[in-house]
A = this chain, B = another copy of it.
Amino acid sequence: MKQIGVGILGFGTVGAGVVEGLLRNRQTMAERLGVEVALRRIADIDISTDRGVAVDASLLTTDAMALIHDADVQIVVELIGGTGIAKTLVLAALNAGKPVVTANKKLLAEYGDEIFDAAEKNGVDIYFGASVGGGIPIIRVLREGLAGNEIQSIHGILNGTCNYILTRMEQEGLPFEEVLDAAQRAGYAEADPSLDIDGFDTAHKASILASLAYGFHVPMEKVLVEGIRNLSGMDVRFAAEFGYRIKLLAMIKREQSEIEVCVHPTLVPLPHMLASVNHAFNAVMVQGDLSGNTLYYGRGAGREPTASTVIGDIGDVARNLVAGQPRYRRAISATNDGTFAMRPPPEAASKYYLRLMVLDKAGALGIMATILGRHGVSILAATQKACEGEDETLGYVPIVMLTHMAKEADVDAALRDIFTAGVLNEPPVKLRMI
């Protein structure tokens, strides 16, 4: 059986998981793929720390460039992360004519154009299955399984930290700060959690999914990003009363030739499959013109789930190499001929959840509804709650309204009118719904 040699850049958590998986399931993989994947080299700046996996010391090196240019290494696997040395090494590997497997979402979201151009120019594969969804083979599904579909929309829960926080806020009625604190102590959230909770990690992944679905690089600055840092437990509770759960969703939608990509806390109706995705799990719902709605669910991060997808990619690239065709266009559709354009966010339409803390006087609900109506925003459901009198809200009551589909610009104009009317004691809360 033919052998294909693999070199691993980065011997951290995921790197060690990939090494362990490759060694443990080597025989099964060879039987399934018809090609043997052989671990040839591992590079890291630190090769002395015990990674919990037994490897021959002769495989370890601190010289990443030597690994890339090693004639026994036919596939380079980048698991360093970030956009510094990782970018240099990925480009070096591609320029050396070696196919690359990477899990680096930030690199692809920010420099996807440059990376894919280098792969194209050198005629080699770039696989990036683990950049989105960890152990969920969503990239493969979009790239191959749904290749016959026009993609109409993608809705994804793509950040386990946020979903863990939102699940505990809802199930235990806790405020955001308290759950974040607990999550940090339990290792579910980073010491500096902003990449996760402010939505940027989700936005990186949304950029990659949108690029893959529509065949052009969707730059980060075109993605509307709103995190969960300012989400109030009050809104989680009111949403539940209306039959919704709040999830941080990446939403990618196509309307004719326009694409909208955004990330924000979103009310999801309870019977929707995405509402059942709890704790650190991820899920992506993809709507194709033929397939209809399909959903993919699993662990979005972690050593072994991420290794599962990286190894699946390695298997594909190995088979491509044996087949003598080093580059598959399906790696990404870098084919946009100007068919699609990004839709400016204020043009976006959605259903909205609005919460207004209103001076408690007769007719307040009517006044709010009238102003919304004047801007063409119609109400699906509304409720005026008794306030659980904290000092700063005494005399104010929360009015919660769910709207029908409305343009974001119209809703914003109405909320400005309401706010300037001087009957609110804090800015309105506006959340999108699906």
- Residues of A that sit less than 8 Å from B by CB: 17, 21-22, 24-25, 28-29, 31-34, 129, 135-137, 140-141, 143-150, 215, 271, 273, 276-278, 283, 288-299, 302, 304-305, 307-309, 311-312, 314-316, 319-320, 322-325, 328-330, 333, 335
- Chain B residues in 8 Å Cβ range of A22: 148
**Chain B residues within an 8 Å CB radius of A276:** 271, 273, 276
Contacts of A141 in B (CB 8 A): 137, 140-141, 145
Closest CB of chain B to A235's CB: distance in Å? 23
B147 adjacent to A329 (CB under 8 Å): no
Evaluate contact between A147 and B289: CB separation under 8 angstroms.
Answer: no
Could you tell me if B308 and A298 are in contact, using CB atoms closer than 8 angstroms? no
8 contacts between A and B (CB under 8 A): A32-B147, A140-B141, A144-B312, A144-B315, A145-B309, A273-B276, A290-B311, A295-B296
Partner of A137, one of B135, B145, B309, B311: B145
From B28, B299, B315, B319, give the contact of A291 (CB < 8 A). Answer: B299
- Of all chain B residues, which has the CB nearest A307? B290
Known: A31-B335, A137-B145, A296-B296. A305 touches B290 (CB 8 A): yes
In the bound complex, do residue A25 and residue B312 qualify as a contact, i.e. CB atoms below 8 Å apart? no
Of B140, B292, B296, the residue contacting A299 (CB under 8 A) is B292
Q: Are B335 and A135 in contact, CB atoms less than 8 angstroms apart?
A: no
Please state the number of chain copies in the assembly. Answer: 2
Quick one: given A31-B215, A137-B145, A140-B144, are A297 and B298 in contact (CB under 8 Å)?
Answer: no
CB distance A291 to B295 under 8 Å?
A: no
Besides A21-B148, A290-B308, 12 more A-B contacts (Cβ < 8 Å) are A24-B289, A25-B290, A29-B148, A31-B335, A32-B333, A135-B288, A147-B312, A148-B307, A273-B277, A288-B308, A290-B311, A295-B296
With most chain B CB atoms within 10 A of its CB, the pick from A34, A271, A278, A322 is A34
Q: Are A146 and B329 neighbours in the complex by a CB distance under 8 Å?
A: no
Which residues of the other chain, B, contact A316 by a CB distance below 8 angstroms?
A: 144
How many Å from the CB of A37 to the closest CB on chain B? 9
Contact B297 A32, beta carbon cutoff 8 Å? no
Task: For A215, list chain B residues within 8 Å (CB).
Answer: 31-32
Q: Is the CB of A25 within 8 A of B296?
A: no
Residues of B contacting A144 with CB < 8 Å?
137, 140, 144, 312, 315-316
Determine if A291 and B273 form an interchain contact, defined as CB atoms under 8 angstroms apart: no
Least distance between A303 CB and chain B CB atoms (Å)? 9
**Given A145-B137, A148-B25, A276-B273, A330 contacting B298 (CB threshold 8 A):** no
Cα separation A307 to B150 with both chains bound (whole Å): 13
Whether A294 lies near B292 (C-beta < 8 A) is no
The answer for the CA separation of A3 and B283 in the assembled complex, in Å, is: 36
A137 proximity list for chain B (CB < 8 A): 141, 144-146, 294
CB-nearest residue of chain B to A303: B290
CA distance A288 to B292 in the complex (A): 27
Is the pair A298, B292 in contact by a Cβ cutoff of 8 Å? yes
CA distance A288 to B17 in the complex (A): 14
Residues of B within 8 Å of A329, CB to CB, are 32-34
Tell whether, in the assembled complex, residue A135 and residue B305 are in contact, meaning their CB atoms are under 8 Å apart.
no
Please indicate the chain B residues that have their CB under 8 angstroms from the CB of A330 in the complex: 32-34, 319
Is A34's CB under 8 angstroms from B328's CB?
yes
Given the complex, which residues of B lie within 8 Å of A305, measured CB to CB?
Answer: 290-292
Bound state CA distance, A215 and B34, in angstroms? Answer: 13
For A140, the chain B residues whose CB sits under 8 A away are 140-141, 144-145
Give the nearest-CB partner of A282 in chain B.
Answer: B294
In the complex, chain B residues whose CB is within 8 Å of the CB of A271:
276, 278
